[in-house]
Structure 1
Amino acid sequence: MKIANRMRRQLLATVGIMAGALAMPMVALAQAPIVIKFSHVVADQTPKGQGALKFKELAEKKFPGRVTVQVFPSSQLFGDGKELEALLLGDVQLIAPSLSKFDRYTKKIQVFDLPFLFDDIAAVDAFQAGPKGQELLGSMVNRGLRGLGYWHNGMKQMSTNQDKLVRPEDVKNLKFRIQASDVLEAQFRALNASPQKMSFSEVYQGLQTGVVDGQENTWSNIYSQKFFEVQKTIAETNHGVIDYMVVTNAKWWDGLPADIRKGLGEAMVQATAHANKLANDFNEADRKKIAEAGKAKIQKLSKEDVAVWRKSMEPVWKKFEGDIGRDLIDAALKSNK
């Protein structure tokens, strides 16, 4: 009887030890931080790079030990052509591609490519913060993508190797480099110019050798890529916007604990404000540097000039209205007020 009791106590002790051993990994697993990989294709010192680092700082401050954000700049993990696929596969949790990358997921995003739709970056801000802009962030959930915020690169300016760039007729028959976008192609065809798709890295040489006569870009891109050195005139058109959307995997995001999801959303709002202020500051500073360099003339446009450009672009708006939606176009125009 005593032997049986002793054996039973030993068995219970062994079971207890085994249960404890099994429980320890479970506890460790429960306490492991949520790791968020934020991959992007530009350098840390850019507004986008700084926005990503600000998000990391804010998220880890809100959830010490519970959330770890790993930022991978300069295509360290994935380049432009692979990052969306990587996000959908769960290999990364956050990316911030150009808005033009999303037209294969929703044609509505093409509203940002429509020329001379927004007066300035303040109008873009108003639209993005408004109901229609916020709706767009959720417009790709059925394709596995959820937008968390818009980050600025800035407003586009138009440049050419000609001495005059004031009205639409000044670009007739000129060759312009464009991003791969149906809207941008239609934009230059409506101006009786020739759109040429060309990678960003090839633009300087294309301008220098005359393969293309002009291009459209933000002040910061025109300065950093030295386009102003191989163009005669830069018209301050503000005719379009180059922005990014910070996106996440919708299934992953919806599976986060509610308090984590809420806190990360708040961190993204703050990081967005930080990145966008930097982008605006960069563009203002780089415009000044271009003017001081004296190599390209900066051509200002009057309200009358802009009205003529806008009128010439209305057929482009009409062409894409069915895909984008008249409601979005009207909301964008109202943001100018």
Structure 2
Amino acid sequence: MPVPHRMPPNASAPAGRVRRRAVLVGGALAAACGVATARQAPLLLRFSHVVAPDTPKGQMALRLQALLHERSGGRIRVEIYPDSQLWGDDDEMEALRLGAVEMLAPSLSKFGMAGVPEFEVFDLPFLFRDLAQVRRVTQGRVGRELLERLGRQQMVGLGFLDNGFKQMSAHRPLRRPADFAGLRVRVQASQVLGAQMRALGARPVVLPFGETQRALATGVVDAAENPLSNYLTQQLAPLQPHVTLTQHGYLGYAVVTHPRWWKHLGRADRALVRQALDEALQHGNRLAAGLDQAALATLRTQPGVQVHMLGTTDRDALRQAVQPVVEQFRRSVGPGLLDAVHGVIGDAA
């Protein structure tokens, strides 16, 4: 049974910028002073993420918490801060670099803007047909090499986690490129995602995940792309009653920590954390497909929500409209990575 995660004293309200910066400075000073005696002491692992506890990422974090509590006899304590309670999209990586948090699971889109553009391959539209293809990439040689490249930006990549495929939500069906014309669409900070929306005639608006609901409610944006589990947990149905099953892109995460904290761990603790995390990731990945199907079933019976399927002609038209984005990525990163991915998933480049 998962051990309840501890909340910060003021978890009911967003932390202020002043408080956050104070924590960042404190974490940096603590790291600079050294942690040589901590190997035999109780170990704290703060895990911050931006989604709800009942998503694949939230459940993965809870499983990690429970496994480490059980296998360390309570010595390793995992504190989980979901829903951007501690850090949001805009500052979680800075918090990791400065030692104010030990573990994150940012979306793969964020790593491109953080200096590892190869991760933008996961943002390419219509690249993967299903999660089986994704996992052939993330669980194989290509995935391992991508995680190793995070070391260039002072991160240790520990594994991949699925969420699911993104669908479109708006005030109207979005079946064809013409339906996107002029819409302001919330996207993550990704050059590929921005270019994709512009190719469809829409205007990309980069916003942190935690601000999406308010932006839709106030008209800052007109549409959004999300896996169905996020659509439900963020309660977007009253704001975006039309859901079009475009399945145009994949949304996943990479679990990362800082090299300083990872090296600080003793060999036994490092092995314990890695084994527990591997099992937690397997748990989260098993949940991802099931939650997606359950979310779709819920949406089909939810009053006021209309679910739209894409026909072959419409899907081909969308794919053709965004093809220039794929070629742009191939030129900017080099053909080798994209060719390697196509080779793994069995599709022709």
Residues 1:42 and 1:196: Cα distance change in structure 2 (over 3 Å):
closer
The aligned residue for residue 52 of structure 1 is: 61
**How far apart in 2 are the matches of 1:179 and 1:48?**
17
- TM-fit CA distance, 1:335: 4.8
Once residues 39 and 191 of structure 2 are traced to their aligned partners in structure 1, the CA distance between those partners, rounded to angstroms, is 48
Distance 1:115 1:29 in 2: 45
CA contact (8 A) 2:55 2:230 kept: no
State the alpha-carbon separation in 2 of the partners of residues 333 and 160 from structure 1: 32
CA distance 1:30–1:210, shift in 2 (3 Å)? closer
Structure 1 residue 330 displacement after superposition? 2.7
Partner in structure 2 of residue 36 of structure 1: 45
What's 2:124 paired with? Answer: 114
CA shift at 1:246, angstroms? 1.0
C-alpha deviation, 1:58, in angstroms: 2.1
Instruction: Say if 1:198 and 1:125 are closer, same or farther in 2 by CA, change over 3 A.
Output: same
TM-score, scaled relative to structure 2? 0.78
Q: Against the structure 1 CA distance between its residues 333 and 248, is the aligned structure 2 distance closer, same or farther, given a 3 Å change threshold? A: same
User: Does 1:279 pair with 2:288?
Assistant: yes
Q: 1:141 aligns with which of 135, 138, 151?
A: 151
Name the residue aligned to 2:176. Answer: 167
Gaps of 5+ in 1: 1-27
For the pair shown, which has the larger CA radius of gyration, 1 or 2? Answer: 1
The answer to whether 1:317 aligns with 2:326 is: yes
CA apart distance, 1:210: 5.0
In structure 2, the CA distance between the partners of 1:256 and 1:226, relative to structure 1 (3 Å rule), is: closer
CA contact (8 A) 2:166 2:249 kept: yes
Closer, same or farther: CA 238–203 of 1 in aligned 2, 3 Å: same
Structure 1 window deviating more from structure 2 (243-252 vs 322-331): it is 322-331
Paired residue for 1:156, among 136, 161, 166?
166
Stretches of structure 2 that go unaligned for 5 or more consecutive residues are 1-36
- 1:258 partner amino acid: R
What is the SS of the residue equivalent to 1:196? Answer: strand
Counterpart CA distance in 2 for 1:53 and 1:254 is 24
* CA gap 1:306/1:334 in 2 versus in 1, 3 angstroms: farther
The one-letter code matched in structure 1 to 2:56 is: P
Asked if residue 233 in structure 1 is aligned to residue 250 in structure 2, the reply is no
SS at match of 1:59: helix
Q: Secondary structure at the match of 1:241?
A: strand
Richer in helix (by share):
1
Alignment-mate amino acid for residue 99 of structure 2? G
- TM-score (norm. length: structure 1): 0.80
- 1:254 to 2:258 alignment: no
**Deviation of the 1:201 alpha carbon:** 4.6
Q: Distance in 2 between matches of 1:199 and 1:84?
A: 13
Quote the Cα distance in structure 2 between the aligned partners of 1:213 and 1:77.
Answer: 28
For 2:186 and 2:290, the matched residues in 1 are separated by 26
The 3 A distance-change label for structure 1 pair 296 and 263 is same
Query: Are the counterparts in 2 of residues 127 and 331 from structure 1 also a CA contact under 8 Å?
Result: no
Out of 109-118 and 195-204, give the one that drifted further. Answer: 195-204
RMSD after superposition: 2.7
- Residue equivalent to 1:330: 339
Confirm or deny: 8 A CA contact 1:98 1:242 kept in the other structure. yes
Cα deviation, 1:207-234, whole Å, max 9, x if unaligned, reads 4565543221111122233333333532
- Give 1:253 deviation, angstroms: 1.6
Classify 1:333/1:303 alpha carbon distance in 2 versus 1 (closer, same or farther; 3 Å).
farther
Opposite residue 296 of structure 1, the aligned amino acid is V
Comparing 264-273 with 34-43, greater Cα deviation is found at 34-43
The residue aligned with 2:28 is none
Deviations 1:7-44 (A, max 9, x none): xxxxxxxxxxxxxxxxxxxxx97632343332333444
Residues 64 and 225 (structure 1), Cα distance of their counterparts in 2 relative to 1, 3 Å cut? closer
Distance (Å, rounded) in 1 between the aligned partners of 2:178 and 2:266: 57
Residue number in structure 2 paired with 1:16: none
Q: Are the counterparts in 1 of residues 89 and 208 from structure 2 also a CA contact under 8 Å?
A: no
How many Å apart are 1:204 and its aligned residue? 4.0
Check conservation: 2:50, 2:210, Cα contact below 8 A: no
**Runs of 4+ with >6 A deviation:** none
| Superposition deviation, residue 150 in structure 1 | 1.6
